Amino acid sequence: MSNELLKIKNLKTSFRIGDEYYAAVDDVTLTLNKNEVLGIVGESGSGKSALAFSIMRLHTRAKIEGEISLNNQNIVQMSKSKLNKIRGDEMAMIFQDPLTALNPLMPIGRQIEETLFLHNKKLGQQGRKERAIELLNLVGILRAERVYEQFPHELSGGMRQRVIIAIAIANDPELLIADEPTTALDVTIQAQILDLIRELKEKIHAGIILITHDLGVVAEMADRVAVMYAGQVVEIAPVDRLFENPLHPYTKSLLNSVPTEGQDRLHVIQGVVPTLKNLPRTGCRFAERIPWVDASHHEDNPTLHEVESGHFVRCTCYEHFYFPDNKEELENGIS
Amino acid sequence: MWKFIVRRLLITFPQIVFLSVLVFVMAQFMPGDALTGLIDPNVSPEALEIQRERLGLNNPWYVQYGDWVGGLVQGDLGQSFRFKMDVTALISERVMNTILLSAVSLFFTYIIAIPLGIVSGRYNDSPLDSFITGYSYLGFATPIFIFALVMLWVFGFILGWFPTSGSVAPGLDAGTVEYYISKLYHSLLPGLSIALISVVSTIQYLRSEIVDTKQRDFIVTARAKGASENRVYNKHIFRNSLLPIAAFFGWEITSLISGTVFVESVFSYPGMGLLFLESVTQRDFSVVTALVLLFGIASILGALLSDIILSIVDPRIRIK
């Protein structure tokens, strides 16, 4: 019996724009072990959320190819009714924006009870209520009995995010996906929510995929980190290795962009993430943002190379990457 | 919630007072007075002046307003010069007909519009949706009086399924079961004519609300819980999409009570709309004034009803 909970192989998620399909997630291969926290980082538009939604199959109009297996059940091919049995039960998700993720017309208690009702028919009405209040207490909501009867608009953003977490963990999922759970919250609340997730990690024994663009969060919470750029995983490594020995130019640039003390200028990555329609489909996708690296150093079809145990990096250009010293070279490429 | 309703009711009261002042002042601006049309032209101006003094028509406007309101609260709306009877009696005869017609057309409207709106919104951009939307455009473009004429011609004259005029068959005693059945029967065709045209706005509202709601984040949350598509639609999308329809409900009633003028005249249906139309063309001012006031009160009450319904269905509106 392996320790493997989730296996993603050659996943490609495409959206239709006009008459053509464009892949937002392209050739992603990942595994997640039981009780492990995998951080996924990347800029906005790098395909992190598209990946999370693919795992839950929450895209309504997307073409998903490849393989996603949760406990050896292939989610990509699964029937809707089977899918509904495992969503909210074996796998659950915490969403980005707590202000819009709850039904405005339904009391908090009933929103939690719905997921209990859908997956545990034996629990009676009273049992559901008790469990809902227990969950509210578990996520650190004071006066749970009162909140049980309240509506979402009566709660603050942080409280609502706690409720969403309560819904996600209601049926003790084996896989919990947290899609930028703190992005929409202000800083003090962010810290509280992260503390809560860390605390729950010990209690619920789930494999967690933590999607974020906050490297600090990843450093604190994750066991392994996958860095995504333009729909692909460009580097994946145990968390300490990634921070000690980042290899891919994009990872290096990201880490270099974190402000540190005594720094007079903040490093900026040139350009922007290309839009879905303009993604380079061949060659190294990061090449155009590091023009000073000679084109011959990029692979034609970059693949993930294992450079040390558990540490993979895409494209060999990392061997030749450096940060240029002067501004001119940075802007004009190699002279 | 009760607090909200009471507060909302309290606001309604000054609105009605203001409306009555407005209606009264407008009536004062109309040329002539109660005596000009009513009196034999051979009566001498001196005698008229004595009558004016006796009836209080020379009093300042606020005294007259006071008299008018005093009559109003006792149910005295004056006399109709055309029908030679009390306006109160005249209107109360018609009110029941109009209320019946409104209820029938409301019933048809919602029974047709809600299922069509749901289908159209849930399966948007499908052939079925295109068909329903096509019908909506047709309905928007069709004038109600033309449509009512066609209905009358097809179902009243050619097929003979429905009576073609009046609100009750002659020779029936009020209060008998046959009488009420006949009343209902007479209201079906005009009611259906109104409904078939007025459904289109409700269908399109509901459709666009559903299309909108199904892309909201909490729908994703519901799916992530493992709710089936049917459950997502019935428990989450439908109720959220009904909010604007509920808000519209009171207004819909108001517009029916005052807006059935054309249909009532096409079907010669003795309701308030028809009475209003006749009174305006024949300058029966006391009836017109009373009806304008009544329509005004109906729209204030309609808005009140909308707010109360909305406060029941939408918890965000309830005020603590």
Tell me: the pLDDT tens digits for A110-144?
999 999 999 988 888 899 999 999 999 988 888 99
Residue A115 Cα, gap to closest chain B Cα (Å): 5
Q: Where are the domains of chain B?
A: 87-313
Comparing CA positions, the residue from A75, A167, A166, A133 lying closest to residue B221 is A167
Closest CB from B226, B240, B316 relative to A118: B226
Q: Is the pLDDT of residue A109 over 90?
A: yes
Which residues of chain B have a CB within 8 Å of the CB of A100? 216-218
Q: Is the pLDDT of residue B320 over 70?
A: no
* Confidence band of B242 (pLDDT split at 50, 70, 90): confident
Q: How many interface pairs between A and B have CB atoms less than 8 angstroms apart?
A: 72
d(CA B196, CA B296): 26
Q: What pLDDT, in 10s, does the model give residues A287-310?
A: 777 777 777 777 777 888 888 888
Domains of chain A: 4-222 (3.40.50.300), 229-332 (no CATH)
pLDDT at B167 (0 to 100): 74
Chain mean pLDDT for chain A:
86
Residue A273 Cα, gap to closest chain B Cα (Å): 25
Test mutation, B212, B218, B229, chain A, max A CBs within 10 A: B218
Residues in chain B: 320
Q: In the predicted model, what is the mean pLDDT of residues A191-197?
A: 87
- Tell if the CB–CB gap between A97 and B221 is shorter than 8 Å: no
CATH of B87-313, one of 3.20.20.150, 3.40.50.970, 1.10.3720.10, 3.30.360.10: 1.10.3720.10
- Tell if the CB–CB gap between A167 and B313 is shorter than 8 Å: no
d(CA A144, CA A73): 36
Lowest mean pLDDT among A229-238, B58-67, B207-216: B58-67
Is the distance from CB of A6 to CB of A55 less than 8 angstroms? yes
Provide the whole-model pTM. 0.81
Q: In the predicted model, what is the mean pLDDT of residues A314-333?
A: 70
Q: Is the pLDDT of residue A209 over 90?
A: yes
Residues of chain A that touch chain B, judged by Cβ-Cβ distance less than 8 Å: 56, 58, 80-81, 83-89, 92-93, 95, 97, 100-106, 114-115, 118-119, 151, 153, 164, 167
DSSP A223-269: SEEEEEETTEEEEEEEHHHHHHS--SHHHHHHHHTS--TT-SS----
Chain mean pLDDT for chain B:
83
Q: Are strands A224-229 and A175-179 parallel, antiparallel or unpaired?
A: unpaired
- Tell if the CB–CB gap between B218 and A103 is shorter than 8 Å: yes
Half-sphere exposure of B141 (CA within 13 A, CB side): 6
Which residues of chain B have a CB within 8 Å of the CB of A86? 226
Q: Are strands A311-314 and A63-70 parallel, antiparallel or unpaired?
A: unpaired
Question: What's the complex ipTM?
Answer: 0.86
d(CA B103, CA B106): 5
